[in-house]
Amino acid sequence: MAPVCPPLLPLPPVYRVPYLSPPSDAPLSSSFWSSVPSTAPFVDISTDVVPRFSTTAQVVYDDWGVHFLGSLSEPNVWFNLTDDQVVIFQDNDFEVFLDASSTTHNYKESELNANANLWTLALAKAYGDGGYENSTRVMSPGFDALSYGALRGSAVSPPSCANDPGAAPCGGWRSYLGLPFEAVLLNSTTDRDARVPNVPPPKPGSIWRCDFSRVEWRVLTQSGQYVKDPAYPNEDNWVWAPTGVVNIHEPERWGILSFAGPDGAGGEDELSDYLALFGLRDRAMQIYYAQHAYASDNNGTFAGDAALLAPYYPAGEDAIGGCGEAVAIELGEGGAAFVATVELEGLGSAAVDQERFLTARGEGGESAVPYR
């Protein structure tokens, strides 16, 4: 029996994605989505405060791409923005984040308001690691999933309730997003030691990382219109998988999409294998955070000896070593870069670099990024 190395943090939520296609002429069809499992209700991104309104998401996939439905309870449905490729979270919105390679790199973000206006962007890496927005909002050429044929839609309940305080309370709104694989998988490759091959479309057994977020602003009614409440200058952030901080761009904390067959079965073994290595992934990320804290105290130079990092582990000095795992750190660029590997004989290994590029492999070198 393979050794066990339990995670340091709670496992993120898992959603089993069935192979199904929503009706092309009615992608928001209640009769279709009623048969698709929902996520657990969203929670606050960083606290135990229970969100004021309920939010859930549903996911299916087919040969074309992946389809999402967000269901948002909302007594006051409103929107100001009417253009695409603008900062949609200035309105209340539903957001989808997808990391198809499960490495924290080359992920996609999509945001929709109640009017179905869409902003999509691609990030080579998280903002905290030097990443930046790639979208037609800020550059030309830039990423825009609509140019690849992305689909979107919204349905307010009742339809006349949007932007009409006199019709409140509304029931809420639903948000549909269809992303073709050509857009989702764009740039999901790397040439770094061939650690991650090109990412093909998913099949039963594939694993993606994903999070959903809802931005919610408090509003008042003035002169028959909704306006943001100045007493609450900051929005609420409600998510499927909490990151523990008010920052959704922590991809290692996102939830898990486990792709299945039409009946929701298939891929169970691959999911089990992926979860078995989560403790090693957690420990690799402890080293990542400790390295950056250490470097901030040492003129930007990373540590070559794991013993120097013990005071900096977010989970405490004993975060590493409890499973009998070994740590190896390779420095580069005069100490300005590193690759850290956490390995437990009989189980596998996880590796991370200074830009949060994260991989895990089972014993014998078999990739634990099972999208092949």
* Nearest alpha-carbon partner for 281 in 347, 184, 203, 231: 347
For the stretch 104-147, pLDDT in tens is 999 999 999 999 999 999 999 999 999 999 999 999 999 999 99
* Nearest alpha-carbon partner for 259 in 88, 49, 67, 40: 67
**What is the longest distance spanned by two Cα atoms in the chain?**
69
- Name the token pair of 102: 């499960």
Residue 332's DSSP bridge partners are: 337
Q: Is 363 in a helix, a strand, or coil?
A: coil
- Please check whether residue 369 is in contact with residue 102, taking contact to mean a CB–CB distance below 8 angstroms: yes
For the stretch 244-259, pLDDT in tens is 999 999 999 999 999 9
For the stretch 194-240, pLDDT in tens is 556 678 899 999 999 999 999 999 999 999 999 999 999 999 999 99
Query: What pLDDT band is residue 167 in, cutting at 50, 70 and 90?
Result: very high
Q: How far is it, in rounded angstroms, from Cα 212 to Cα 57?
A: 8
- Name the token pair of 67: 């389809």
For the stretch 307-354, pLDDT in tens is 999 999 999 999 999 999 999 999 999 999 999 999 999 999 999 999
Q: Is 245 exposed, middle or buried (0-12, 13-18, 19+ CB in 10 A)?
A: exposed
Q: How far is it, in rounded angstroms, from Cα 107 to Cα 122?
A: 6
Residue partners of 83: CB distance under 8 A and separation at least 6: 117
Average pLDDT, the chain: 94
Query: What pLDDT band is residue 187 in, cutting at 50, 70 and 90?
Result: confident
Average pLDDT over residues 35-43: 97
Q: How far is the first Cα of the chain from the last one, in angstroms, to the nearest whole number? A: 25
Cα angle, residue 155 at apex, residues 154 and 158 outer, rounded to 5° = 155
